[in-house]
Every structure is written in structure tokens, then in C-alpha cells.
Structure 1
Amino acid sequence: MSTASRVVIDLDVPGPIISRHLYGHFAEHLGRCIYGGFYVGEDSDLPNEGGIRLDVVEALRALNIPNLRWPGGCFADEYHWKDGIGPKADRPSMVNTHWGNVEENNHFGTHEFMALCELLGAEPYVNGNVGSGTVQEMSEWVEYLTRDGDSPMVRLRKANGRDEPWKIPFWGIGNETWGCGGNMRAEAYADLARQYATFCRDHGDNKLYRIAAGASDDNLVWTEALMKAVSCLGCGRDVRNLFQAISFHYYTLAGPWDSKGSATDFDLDDYYRTMVKAQDIDRIIRGHSAVMDAYDPERKIGLVLDEWGTWWDVEPGTNPGFLYQQNALRDALVASVHFDVFHKHAERLVMANIAQTVNVLQAMILTDESGGLVLTPTYHVFEMNKGHHDATSVPVHVVERPAPYEHDGKALELLSASASVKDGQALVSVTNLDPSASADVVLDLRGAEIRNPAGRLLTAPKLQFHNTTADPAAVAPVALDLETDARGLRVTLPPHSFATITVEV
């Protein structure tokens, strides 16, 4: 069975730029994301540079990852950065109370993170400690990282082997301050955000993009409190340049927090609930944007979704505090749907960070201690979509579509699409969310002559398929057949599939 759809794409009508930072990543001291994931130590038998695992770096470089957020997450608000500098043998250990109550030796700290970013070619996004830290501690960390010349923190950095300052474009002022970051009230944190932002100074030519810790899901009250801290409603005053963005977090799951379900053992009912939740990110972003528009009509303040992704029950036999989960085709479709929404809101949404990059939640890569490395289905969505980085979005209109699927009183759109143009090439991303029917899609490409079309397809026989060291390509991209049509191109998408189509324009 198949359904017919037509998607009109206006290639000559430029929209906002899709920031490459919408494809950002997140590495928290959580489970085996840092230790045993990115970092194996200099004594490891695995190829490494300064303890950083090089096959992980190589795989991520293929994604052109634009930024990496660190050290948390909840961990950020119990991390004291001075414990993670200097000779490793002299660094004090700490207890990671949020994630498994394990002891950490602080061997992966500021210098190691910056070395990782340099190996990846990614810009660092450092998240500072508001919950258990001080204004002075955060201010000194900025100075240590970014100041040149001669000062106490500059001398300390040089004593630790780094003469030149680093460039730090992104700085987080705490994390989830409504919860693990301090259980604060919105107004109380808004005052702290102003205070901390004031002392996170620009040193030399390094200009910080300060990101205030924002809401969970659709808590618009929190967003409004932060906007009131830098502007006023209808007063026509310029927004105060204290922090430059507000974050929020949004996770996709099929059940309640105490019973999220399995990443690989699920039924169609679970699938539909998951995809309805994933598509609801559009409503969430529209809500936050509407509040921000009221206080900032010129959109000087950015919106940042610096934690998103699927969250399932941990794999059986693993530490519950390590949040290790498998990654199936269903997760890839959650990612593709999110990116279509991100592109749509690119004028206000300036950054997003998948949670997380290695071995935690909706990871790009799964590793083991023996040297095994698996690229997940979600990894392939990021790779197939990388042509959207810093591209110009163009309007996409699904003018003929299958009827939405009604599930528990909520409608699931079964076809999702977005498109962009960059460097003489258009990239169209399209997802068929129907788990049982193919989609015959006409891409009605207008406003440019198209040449040399090519397509790629990501799917599998079942939604539950996932990659393992024994079968690393169970879900992997293959070539997609394209046909010319009087309106442009015609493509048939199998059930539960994601595709990208490129054309020269």
C-alpha cells in the first residue's frame, strides 16, 4: 500500500539561515560518555592522543560537528573547574552524585576538553556552575580560558602548559536551575543570571555568547521571567545585552518518567506515542518564540535547545545512573523530524545539542572497552543532513499529504520535510513516518533549473532494527532511486524511512 503526496519547494525564495549550531552535541560526565567514551587515558591500548580516543574523533569529524557542550548537564553544577587542571596525579577526586554516585579522578578537565574540541574541529560550549559555585569561580574560569597578557588566571594557565588563550564562543550560565541546578524559582534565577553574566567578561577579542538556563518543555513562565530580566513588555526599550540567549530542554519518550520503555522492544502504540511527542517540539518552540517576540520583537536574543533527544529505560544489566540505551530506527526518525522543525524556526532557534554524543541517551556512537565502535541510526541522520549547515532555508509546502494518524486524540502528520540551498546545491530532507505504507512523493521544485539529482535512504525492515558490533550496518544509508516528473522529481519512500535528495541549482 502507498500514499500520494506533493511537496512544493520554492528554491528561489530565501528564508533564514539554518545555523550549523543547530547540529550541536553534548558531552556530560555521565556514564561512559567521557570516561570510556571520548577519553580512555594515555595508557590505553586503543589509539589515542592525550587519552582522547581517536576512532571516536574520526567518526565525529565526518559529521562536521559545530560545537560541543561540556561538562553538563546536572554535572556542571557540582563541577569545580580548578580540580580539573594541573598535573593529573595532583588532581583531587570527586563524587558524581547525579550520575551513579561514582568517584571520578578529574583526569578529564579543561585542557583535555579544549584538546578534544581542537581534534574535532568543534567550537567549545562551556557550561558554568551556578548551583554550587560562585560568581568569582565562574569569572575566573572565563579569565583562565580566554584572557591574554598577565593576570593571576593567565599565569595559572601558563603554568599548566598553555601560553595562548583559547576562543570560547559559547558560555552557559548554569543548567536546569529549576531542578538539579538549584531548585530555584524563575525570578530568583533571573536575578542570578544577570549577576553571573555581568562577571563573565569579554577578554580581548573573545566575545562570549552567554546562554541563560531556561525552561523545561513548555514552561513559558520561566522564559518570560528571563525576558523580563533584560527587557520590558511593549516599552520599546532595547534589550539589555547581559545574556545573548535563553535555553530550554525537551526530551522525547513514549511513557512516564518512571517507565519510559525499551529502546528496541516496543510496539506500534509505543511508536505512535513517541512520534506524536517528537512532533510536539514545534508547538514548544512556537510557544517560547511567542513569549520572546513580545519582549524582543527584533529577535536579538537567541533560543537554544541545548538538550534534546529520546530517553528510554537503560539497557538490561547496565548501571541505571549511566543512562546507556540502544538506538534504533525509531530514534533516527525522531531526529529527522526534529531537524525539520529546527529549520522551520531558524530565525529564532540558533542552537541545539543532542543528548548525548557517546554512550548516553540518544548517542551518535556506542563504544565498548575492547575497542568496538558502532555508528547509530541517529548518527546517519546527522551525516545525511550536514548539507543544511549554514545553508539558506527555503519554503516547503506539503500541499498533498496522507491523512494524519489519530492517536489518543492527537494527530500525527505522516510526512515531514524541509529544504535549503547553499553553494549551488539544494538539499531536501523528507521523512515517511507511516509504519506500514510507502509514500509516493512528488517534489515540486520551483524557481530554479535542477541538475544532477541524487538521493540517499535510511530505513530497515523493522522500526526496532539497530546497529551492533556484530551487525554494524543493520540501519545504514543506501542509494535512493529518483524519477523525473513534470513538476520536478518523484520518489517512493518505504515505510518508516528518512531520505535526502540533492540537486544542483
Structure 2
Amino acid sequence: MAPTTRAVIDLDVPGPTISRHLYGHFAEHLGRCVYGGFWVGEDSEIPNERGIRLDVVEALRALRIPNLRWPGGCFADEYHWKDGIGPREDRPRMVNTHWGDVEENNHFGTHEFMDLCEMLGADPYVNGNVGSGTVREMSEWVEYLTRDGDSPMVALRRANGRDEPWKVPFFGIGNEPWGCGGNMRAETYAELARQYGTYCRDHGDNVLYRIAAGAADDDYHWTETLMKAVSCLGCTREPKQFFQGLSFHYYTFNGQWADKGSATEFTEDEYYETMAKARDVERVIKGHAAVMDVYDPAKRVGLILDEWGTWWNVEPGTNPGFLYQQNTLRDALVAAVHLDAFHRHADRLVMANIAQTVNVLQAMILTDEQSGALVLTPSYHVFAMNTGHHDATALDVRLLDGVATRTVCTPRGEEELETLSVSASTKDGAALVSLTNLDAQDDTRVVLDLRGRDVTGHRARILTAPALHDHNTPTRGDAVAPRDHDGVRTHERGLVVDVPAHSYVTVRLELA
């Protein structure tokens, strides 16, 4: 008989709002994410509108994609935005030294990106160049994008065919300055973030949310240095407004950085090691939040995880600089436990961007070069099943009666991996409960102890497959796809939910 855990959920005790921006995405000039992914050009036989691939847009609109980060990543700190405006045939070429050492023709630039965001209904998150750029260059880009009236950059934008300014809510001050963005020390970058942030102006009614480029993983010193740049120990006054948020990056893989393992061929032990790394993101979020709380107890500065996801060795036969990998059920479960952690820390974590949207790393969508077919990945389906959490009110979930664990060998030593993850939220007269069973072999059962409001109906969906390495392809597009789940029954405390091994289940509750 499957072990049973009780999950107590007070439906009438609201927590913080789960920002829809925690479901953000990331598009870098890397491999086939932009070219061949979003952008096929106006002469392509693939259906497009002004060069933007329509089936990709349609699929992402179904996810209610809230924001899109661009142009990088590492590419952002070698990108000079004026090379990507004006007639395409006149745009200068460049070499993408970070990703494959390939030539970039700059056919996809500012206007094309903003057009894409408008088609997606997504907020733009533009990432500026600190590593090889200048303060003036970044300031002029903000002016070009967001200023109305009359100014040099407004005149240039109008000459390039756009009269009205765009709305740009999010602007990044560089990327990974501790690495590809300049190999700086934290103190050096913190001074630059203050300087560059000063000249990223609010024009008209466009108010920028400036995001300082933060730490790798659990480098809490980097976060503390940035917080010192805008606040002081125990401060009760408003932090200085050089930037309103700071980021960090966290990737999941097993093995070592130089050999991260295969996306599709892995042992059960490697699977569990991956899940332990995925669940460890919660410790990292807590650590950054704790540092920020000391300098900003009112939580006015937001924490942003603007690169996260699985990172495997590239698929055999593909360019190693293009970071193209398959996406299996394992990747979907990694996404599920990350999103649960985001919900639990929505008081401080205000945005997250999975890396990346199309054809790179833990992509939502893969496009086949030969056939032109579009494949929705298992990770895509987790995001689709979770749209009910967007801008919903988080509900506290208390797990009682024991949670199953697995002993996992990791580079940090033996760890106990909790194999059940649950989160919940409510909005618009309904609640959504997400349940993930990470156990590779054993089913589990969860009693939803629902309190505070009457439940008048429910519907459940499940994402699973016979094997952890199952994935979708152009010829088997639904090998891992969600379906209705009949393993939910009434119980004296509320509902009981069967959660099979290696599965992700959502239960939507209709509330009185």
C-alpha cells in the first residue's frame, strides 16, 4: 500500500502574492533560440509574421508568458544595441564569441524583440551591456526605448519606423559580472551598478525596475555587497533607488561542471542526485533572502532568479556552443519542485526566468531543423498546468504524518531527499494544489486536509510517463503529455490524491 502523507491547507489564510513573473522566460542569442527559434525571417516558408515564427508565439501565448529576458546572458555584455536597428541589410555583423564563435548578422534587434513581446503579450526584460559597453550607451538605449516627445534617441527611433515609445518595465544592469560579464569583484560591480543605474532614467510614465546582476548559486557575499550599495545594516529607511532588484543564477545538473551528464541517458542514482540539486535551490533562496532581510527588513528590494533550469551535455552531433539538449520527464520534475519553492518564497522572490525558451538548455519548445516541426517539451507542460498560480495568493502547506525520503549520494555527501513536494494558491474563487512525487519507483498518497472554506468541486491533471528518460520528438510529440487524473477521491478531511511514482499532479478546487 502506498504511504500516506497529510497536507494541511488553510484555504482562508492568505499568504504573499505569487507574482506571474516567477514564470518568466529567457531568450539569448545562443544557438537556435533566436535564429531558427523565434526568428525565421520574412522569406521563410515557415508561417511567420514580420519574420517571427507564429507557431512558437501561439504555443507561448498558451502559457500566458509574463515576461521575456533578452538579449542575454553572456551575449548581453558584448551586444551593442545600435548595431541591431535600422534597415537589416545595413546592420553591421559581429562575432558571438561566447556561444559557438559564430557570426551574428543582427537581423533580430530592438524593434524585432519589442515586436515579439507585443505578439506574446509579455513584458520586455531588456538586459544592458556593462561588460564591454558604456554608461552613455545604456542610457541612450533606455531613452530610445521609452522616451516620448523630442530628443536625439526619439528622433532615431522614429527614423527607424516607431513613433510611440514602448513600455519597458524591467531593465538589467549587466549579466554575471563575476564571470563572462567582466570577471569583476563584487565591490567593483556594486559601484558600477550604482553608476549605471543612475543613468537608466525613468522617461515619462515608464518606470524602470532596475535589476543588478547578482550572485552565482550561494555566493551570499555578492548579495551582501549589493545590498550595502543601497542600504545599511538594520536600516529602516527606504533603500537608495539605484536598483530595485538583484538577481542570482542557479543551474541543476549531476556530475561536474565540465561533464554534466546526458539529458536522456542516466541512472537512477544520477536521477536522485539531480533531484537533490534541484531541491537545494530552496536553501539558496533562503540564504539570499536572509542576507537581504538584514539590510532591507521591509522587503522593498526584490530577489530575481533570472537564470535557472537543467544544464546537460549537448546532444551528440550538435555544436557544443549551442547548448541544445533534449528535455525528459526528469526535467519536468526539476521544474515542478523549483516552482513549488518559488511559491513558498514569494514574499522576497519576485521574478524568475527559466533558461531558455526555445532550443537551448531546459527549453519549453524544440524546433526541428529538418522538418520544421515544433515540439512541446515536458517542461512546457508543467508551466501550462501551473498557470492558475499566476498572481494568485500563496497558501501555506504543512506536511504531517511523515514524508518519504531517499538517501542520496551527492558531491556534498549523503543527503536525505524528501520525495514529495506540495504547494498551493488561491484566486478567483478557486484554489490550485501542485503535488510532485520524485520517487522513481514508489507511489504515494496525499490527504489534502482542507480547512476554512467549502470545496464544491475538483478536477485533477497528471504529467508522467513510463520511464524517467521519456521525452517528446517530432514523431512522438505526446510521449510525455498531461491528461486527466482520476486518482482523486473525497475524504473526511477533504480529498485524497494518488500521486504515482515520478509524476506531477495538479488539483483545481472550486470553492464556495
Is the TM value for this pair above 0.5? yes
Provide, for residues 134-180 of structure 1, a one-character-per-residue CA deviation record: whole Å limited to 9, x for no partner.
Answer: 00000000000000000000000000000000000000000000000
User: What is the aligned partner in structure 2 of residue 389 from structure 1?
Assistant: 390
| Aligned counterpart in structure 2 of residue 451 of structure 1, from 428, 438, 456 | 456
Q: Which amino acid aligns with 1:112?
A: E
The answer to whether the 8 Å contact 2:393/2:427 transfers is yes
Q: Are 2:260 and 1:255 equivalent residues in the alignment?
A: no
The answer to whether the 8 Å contact 2:462/2:484 transfers is yes
Q: Secondary structure at the match of 1:30?
A: coil
User: What is the aligned partner in structure 1 of residue 158 from structure 2?
Assistant: 158
Q: Which amino acid aligns with 1:485?
A: H
Q: Secondary structure at the match of 2:384?
A: helix
Q: Which amino acid aligns with 1:492?
A: D
User: What is the aligned partner in structure 2 of residue 379 from structure 1?
Assistant: 380
Q: Are 2:389 and 1:351 equivalent residues in the alignment?
A: no
1:304 Cα deviation after fit? 0.1
Q: Are 2:149 and 1:149 equivalent residues in the alignment?
A: yes
1:5 Cα deviation after fit? 1.3
User: What is the aligned partner in structure 1 of residue 304 from structure 2?
Assistant: 304
Provide, for residues 433-483 of structure 1, a one-character-per-residue CA deviation record: whole Å limited to 9, x for no partner.
Answer: 111011111111111100120000000001000000111000000111111
In structure 2, distance between residues paired with 1:121 and 1:364: 17
User: What is the aligned partner in structure 2 of residue 269 from structure 1?
Assistant: 269
- Give the structure-1-normalised TM-score: 0.99
The answer to whether the 8 Å contact 1:16/1:392 transfers is yes
Q: Are 2:420 and 1:420 equivalent residues in the alignment?
A: no
1:346 Cα deviation after fit? 0.1
Identical residues among aligned pairs (%) = 72
In structure 2, distance between residues paired with 1:308 and 1:403: 26
Unaligned 5+ runs, structure 1: none
Unaligned 5+ runs, structure 2: none
Q: What RMSD, in angstroms, separates the aligned Cα atoms of the two structures?
A: 0.7
Counterparts of 1:76-115 in structure 2 under 5 Å? 76-115=76-115
Q: Which amino acid aligns with 2:337?
A: V
Provide, for residues 44-99 of structure 1, a one-character-per-residue CA deviation record: whole Å limited to 9, x for no partner.
Answer: 00000111000000000000000000000000000000000000000001100000
In structure 2, distance between residues paired with 1:317 and 1:17: 44
1:235 Cα deviation after fit? 4.4
The answer to whether the 8 Å contact 1:418/1:429 transfers is yes
The answer to whether the 8 Å contact 1:401/1:415 transfers is no
- Give the structure-2-normalised TM-score: 0.98
User: What is the aligned partner in structure 2 of residue 229 from structure 1?
Assistant: 229
The answer to whether the 8 Å contact 1:251/1:309 transfers is yes
Q: Secondary structure at the match of 2:469?
A: coil
Q: Are 2:215 and 1:215 equivalent residues in the alignment?
A: yes
In structure 2, distance between residues paired with 1:261 and 1:407: 17
| Aligned counterpart in structure 1 of residue 499 of structure 2, from 489, 493, 503 | 493
User: What is the aligned partner in structure 2 of residue 465 from structure 1?
Assistant: 470
In structure 1, distance between residues paired with 2:302 and 2:208: 13
User: What is the aligned partner in structure 2 of residue 475 from structure 1?
Assistant: 480
Worse overlay, 70-79 or 484-493: 484-493
Provide, for residues 95-151 of structure 1, a one-character-per-residue CA deviation record: whole Å limited to 9, x for no partner.
Answer: 000000000110000000000000100000000000000000000000000000000
The answer to whether the 8 Å contact 1:128/1:174 transfers is yes
User: What is the aligned partner in structure 2 of residue 35 from structure 1?
Assistant: 35
In structure 2, distance between residues paired with 1:451 and 1:460: 30
User: What is the aligned partner in structure 2 of residue 360 from structure 1?
Assistant: 360
Q: Which amino acid aligns with 2:506?
A: T
| Aligned counterpart in structure 1 of residue 447 of structure 2, from 442, 451, 464 | 442
In structure 1, distance between residues paired with 2:53 and 2:510: 37
User: What is the aligned partner in structure 1 of residue 18 from structure 2?
Assistant: 18
Q: Which amino acid aligns with 1:406?
A: T
In structure 1, distance between residues paired with 2:93 and 2:415: 49
The answer to whether the 8 Å contact 1:36/1:368 transfers is no
Could you list the structure 1 runs, at least 4 aligned residues long, displaced by more than 2 angstroms after superposition: 234-238, 400-403
The answer to whether the 8 Å contact 2:404/2:420 transfers is no
